[in-house]
Chain A
Amino acid sequence: MRTLTDRALNLAQVQGATYADIRVIQRFTQHIVVKNGIVESLSTDESQGFGVRVVVDGAWGFASSALVTPAEVDRITALAVQIARASALVKRRDVRLGLPMSHVGTYRTPVQIDPWNVSMEEKIDLLLKADEGLRATPGVKVATSELAFWREHKIFANSEGAFLEQEIIESGGGIEALAVDPERGEVQKRSYPNSFRRDQRTEGWEAILAMDLPGHAPRIGEEAVALLSADPCPSGVTTLILGATQLALQIHESCGHPIELDRVFGTEASYAGTSFLTPDKYGTFRYGSEIVNLTADATIPGGLGTFGWDDEGVPAQRIPIVRNGIFCGYLSSRETVEQLREIVGDAAPPFSGGAMRADGWNRIPLVRMTNVNLEPGEWEFDDLIADTDDGIYMELNRSWSIDDKRLNFQFGTEIAYEIKHGKMGRMLKNATYTGITPQFWASCDAICNRNHWRVWGTPNCGKGQPSQIAHTGHGAAPARFRNVRVGVMQQR
């Protein structure tokens, strides 16, 4: 393989590239879906190819192909150079990449049980058992159980001497019960362990066993049906306690995306938008209350955003994002950290934070989340509920929306419970809450401790044109927020 990567890098430089890198990737995925007792989908995908990224005349070019042969490497490299020259026709500044990155090494996701060594029969049997449990409660109209496995073998080489080989393995699973009240035309949904079909981790089959999908299925089915007759979430301003999975998505949307430095510099403006966390706020802006500490950590074992090096050959790192409530860090690339340096000088990190990630061989890397986490606090969950006189507990995301600078958000959850006089009370449905990001995080007055903290996987983060899906992680424990507007649906 080194012969092919050298061939591309040499050819690119001969044709005028001042920087070049190549990624050669093979990706294998396996996906099983059981719906109402039937294996509705059973598929394996294989995709291989390479992408060459170059800087010529101070501008970027990228080309990719599924055909991994010397002749195609030559054609694609030349095309990348041609495209970069075209890019240079409309440029306002030259690309600057800062310090060279020339690491050499290998990384493999540590797994206890390789999911590819587990028989398909065992996987299907587990889902059928979960499916049976989901449908044990009359009124469950659609039961869905799912497993997904992913193996990506990736070689990265650049013209600065880097040569890195990585194998990333992921395992994901989840169950969902849909209950329908035909009389009232109402639909309610419950999921486990995360919504939108699954939780996912950089772990092996042991991650699936730990989920115990069949063991949780009866409760999920019961709750879906119970929601149909639950009271709607009242509207008003109240104390809100978010469960860890909902908080993980809150972090993803209201912290993870606005700290992406490419968004900050406007390069996602036409699609996903920009960010309110502009460089003038770097190091000084109060993002949250004193107890809010956020990190971006690509080194957490099992996190879905965990790897050895990013797709620019920068090592995985742990970076403070918010320290004692003050915004102090970005997710960055080699180019964007140089742009930040031009604005904030030596306050900027010395090199990239290692957050460039591409969705396969046919996509360029973008600044993406790694594992963006709310660090644990000091509370036991039961103590937190006991300490809350009047409020609502919300858990597991059902809908999410946020504006294009990541300020105004509105989230809905699958289930909620009233909290009265320090105790969890009646179940509530159609729960929603809304707010403005820094005001919301400023209202955080309690975070549960490490006993309640874990990293949740988000395997469906969309960004970029052409669209890319990233796999990100978010560490969270339940936390309390004061004076939050809830029940938006009922206010209509």
Chain B
Amino acid sequence: MLGQERIHQISQPILARSTADQTEVVIRTFDRHLTRFANSSIHQNVAESDTEVRIRVVLFETAAGARVGTATTNDLSEEALFRTLENALTLARLQPPNPDFKSLPGPQPIPEANAFRSTTAGCTPERRAREVGIVCRLAGEAGVIASGAFTTAASELAVANSLGIFAYHPSTFAEINTVVMSDTSAGYASALALDVNDLDVESLGREAVEKCRRSQNPRSLDPGEYCVILEPYAVEDVVQMMAYTGFSALTVQEGRSFMVGRLGQQIVDPRVSIWDDGLDPTGLPTPFDFEGVPKQRVDLIEKGVARGVVYDSYRAGREEGKRSTGHAISAPFIFSPFPQNTFFAPGDATLEEMIQSTTRGLYVTRFHYTRVVEPRQVVITGMTRDGTFLIENGEIAYPVKNLRFTQSYLEALNHVAAIGRQPRLLLSDSDGLLSCSVPALKLEQFTFTGVTEF
């Protein structure tokens, strides 16, 4: 951790020295610690300390458009920083003008978002080992083995530009996940929090052990169309795949998004609302994006109606009257913008009620290795994993071998039977940049196209 003052000392000389028309300095520091375990034993235990300084320069030398260059370093010496600035300037000068690039953003008031917990930043390897030991002990008591990873991380994001932006945000997160396995079964659980003290590791361990115990000796089930109950771990994939394929201005402008031409239309069940909110304290709050633009709440789908997508300044500049919603991700922006703090509105059902109301269906803990087969309908293929069960007559009947699905997520969300009342906050990347708050879902139709051997 460098601290706000040191980051100011690093960024300001770069801005002062730059000969570009506009200059931006983005600094991200990481102090990340990860304890990884397998076979109920710690086998990887790592610490990382790094700082990334990214300099973007803009030249408006011709009427034909801007020339933009980006260079990055992790060497904080003045010599290296100025060399990186020169590299960015050289790259910019070599470019043909880009008529779509309008400007770096100007300063706006940055809202408060307290996302730093000293308990997480100061978590020791001994404490992580003790917590991991709890999961391993629970697995051992059940005669099974545990694997997983426990991360505690502190980071800083700062953005300074020559138009007057200086934004600084320190943050932490703690995440633990575990797969508990027997010879024939597996169970999964994960938890995420800003404060490591808010993780209930014992409860998480019990959840995974119990799932592993119940999924032993699975039977083979024919693929086909089933009613499904998806735990939040599986719903997280649904939301992230929709974000990837369609919730950004990039995918809309390129014609790849399911939102193209459908804003204002009913696209899924009216009970489905999905939005992005970087300021919600129940998520991983981040008050501004990688361009220093304050985060706006963006309703993506509201009561089943397509409402909007997220923008960064470049994509906003390509549409008349649009402004960045504060969703730039790290330059060079190939996948930017992107919703980073997504929320799926909870409903009023419990998991027990969902099971009891199901005559025949599948209970899915989570999905594995999902990939886009067709983007405009969000057709996804993937496997179930770590606890899949057949439901018959309102009860879990028996565990089943994992199945492959090939299913349009968009179509599936048109067949919502119930939405869970208890959302779960889950991590969607290892850097703590993407999180998702999701409930369980019951869907009337879901197409399974294959089955595997375990």
Contact = CB atoms under 8 A, between A and B. Distances in A.
Interface in A462-487: 465-467
Interface stretch (B7-15, B93-101, B111-119): B93-101
A407 B32 CA distance: 34
B357 interface: no
B91 A42 contact: yes
Contact of B47 (A60, A62, A91, A400): A62
Interface stretch (B192-200, B290-298, B376-384): B376-384
B376 A185 contact: yes
A362 B408 CA distance: 39
A2 interface: no
B359 interface: no
Contacts of A83: 45-47, 125
A405 B368 CA distance: 11
A142 B251 CA distance: 11
Contacts of A489: 373-374, 379, 406
Contacts of A90: 37, 40-42, 129, 132-133, 136
B129 A86 contact: yes
Contact of A466 (B46, B370, B454): B46
B450 A434 contact: yes
Given A269-B38, A466-B430, A467-B430, A408 B149 contact: no
A49 B148 CA distance: 27
A46 B74 contact: yes
B68 interface: yes
Given A38-B100, A266-B39, A86 B94 contact: no
Given A60-B45, A465-B36, A47 B74 contact: yes
Nearest to B37: A90
Contact of B402 (A43, A79, A180, A403): A403
B365 interface: no
Contacts of B381: 399, 401, 410, 412, 432, 488
B444 to A, nearest CB: 15
Nearest to B130: A89
A41 interface: yes
Interface stretch (A63-71, A287-295, A385-393, A440-448): A63-71
Nearest to B74: A66
B185 to A, nearest CB: 13
B96 A39 contact: yes
Contact of A42 (B39, B94, B149, B383): B94
A270 interface: yes
Contact of A89 (B50, B76, B126): B126
A466 B35 CA distance: 10
A400 to B, nearest CB: 6
A39 B179 CA distance: 44
Interface in A115-173: 120-121, 124, 128, 141-142
Contacts of B451: 408
A89 B372 contact: no
A488 B374 CA distance: 12
Contact of A120 (B91, B149, B373): B91
B268 interface: no
A43 B404 contact: no
A401 B385 CA distance: 13
Interface in B250-302: 254-256, 258, 260-261
Contacts of A41: 70, 331-334
Given A49-B74, A432-B373, A44 B45 contact: no
Contact of B369 (A82, A86, A402): A402
A112 interface: no
A271 interface: yes
Contacts of B69: 42-43
Interface in B198-256: 254-256
B371 A89 contact: no
Contacts of A412: 373, 381
A462 to B, nearest CB: 10
B86 to A, nearest CB: 11
Contact of B148 (A92, A270, A492): A270
A273 B368 contact: yes
Contacts of A185: 258, 260-261, 376-377
A43 B382 contact: no
Contacts of A346: none
A82 B45 CA distance: 10
B41 A91 contact: yes
Contact of B74 (A31, A48, A82, A120): A48
A492 B447 contact: yes
A404 interface: yes
A91 B47 CA distance: 19
B75 A48 contact: yes
B414 interface: no
B371 A92 contact: no
B128 to A, nearest CB: 7
B87 interface: yes
B436 interface: no
A399 B430 contact: no
B435 interface: no
B152 interface: no
B48 interface: yes
Interface in B113-157: 124-126, 128-130, 132-133, 136, 145, 147-149, 151
Given A270-B147, A465-B34, A44 B72 contact: yes
A430 B290 CA distance: 37
Contacts of B179: 269-270
B177 interface: yes
B68 A42 contact: yes
B145 A182 contact: no
A364 B46 contact: yes
A89 B129 contact: yes
A313 to B, nearest CB: 19
A285 to B, nearest CB: 14
A104 interface: no
Contacts of A91: 41-42
A466 B147 contact: no
A127 B348 CA distance: 54
Interface in B148-200: 148-149, 151, 177-179, 181
Given A39-B96, A141-B254, A399-B381, A45 B449 contact: no
Interface in B50-103: 50-52, 68-76, 80, 84, 87, 90-92, 94-96, 98-100
Given A89-B126, A408-B451, A492-B406, A399 B48 contact: no
B54 to A, nearest CB: 8
Contacts of A124: 94-96
A453 interface: no
Given A48-B74, A267-B43, A142 B37 contact: no
B353 to A, nearest CB: 29
B96 A403 contact: no
B255 A403 contact: no
A62 B43 CA distance: 11
Contacts of B377: 185
Contacts of A401: 369-371, 381-383, 404
**4 smallest beta-carbon distances between A and B, as pairs:** A86-B125, A408-B452, A41-B332, A180-B255
20 contacts: A38-B100, A41-B333, A43-B69, A44-B91, A63-B46, A83-B46, A86-B42, A89-B42, A91-B41, A124-B95, A186-B376, A269-B38, A269-B179, A401-B381, A402-B383, A408-B452, A430-B373, A430-B374, A467-B430, A489-B373
Interface of B: 32, 34-52, 68-76, 80, 84, 87, 90-92, 94-96, 98-100, 124-126, 128-130, 132-133, 136, 145, 147-149, 151, 177-179, 181, 254-256, 258, 260-261, 331-334, 368-377, 379, 381-383, 385, 402, 404, 406-407, 430, 447, 449-454
Interface of A: 31, 33, 38-49, 59-67, 76, 79-80, 82-84, 86-87, 89-93, 120-121, 124, 128, 141-142, 178, 180, 182, 185-187, 265-271, 273, 276, 362-364, 398-405, 407-408, 410, 412, 430, 432, 434, 436, 465-467, 488-489, 491-492
